[in-house]
Amino acid sequence: MDNSIIVTHLNNLQRQFAEIQNISLYYADGVLIASTFPDSSPIDEIGAVSSAFNAISRRAGKLFNVGNIGYTQLFTDNGVILIIDINNEAIAVIQADAKLNANALRPELRRAALAILNQLD
């Protein structure tokens, strides 16, 4: 699948949820698939840190015996960062303002990301 097609999917999702500022899709190991972050962003570092957070969250879910972790939410002074696990194959990283309803977004993002991943296989 052409990267521009994937970015179009991400842009469509971004338009669906006005609170989203930027969104990236990575393989679970942090390798970039596609992104709407500006070119000046440290995109590889964002992938590495997000992958580590996702791995820590998954491990915490097992240690605390609470099941699979759907997403990790980081609250900041200026908004929220969501790191969403997609079938243990990929992660979506979203930068958004604090008004984002993560519970409404998660199923839509998971559906879109799975469709993209199926195209990549």
pLDDT digits (tens, 9 = 90+) for 56-76: 999 999 999 998 888 899 999
Quote the pTM value.
0.85
d(CA 22, CA 36): 6
Number of domains in the chain: 1
Tell me which residue range forms the domain holding 64. Answer: 3-120
Residue 18 is inside which H or E element, if any?
Answer: none
Q: Which two tokens stand for residue 64?
A: 């605390």
Strand, helix or coil for residue 95: strand
Strand, helix or coil for residue 32: strand
Q: Would you tell me how many other CB atoms lie within 10 Å of the CB of residue 105?
A: 22
pLDDT in tens, 28-42: 999 999 899 998 899
Vertex 101 angle, CA 97 and 113, to 5°: 95
CATH assignment of the domain containing 105? 3.30.450.30
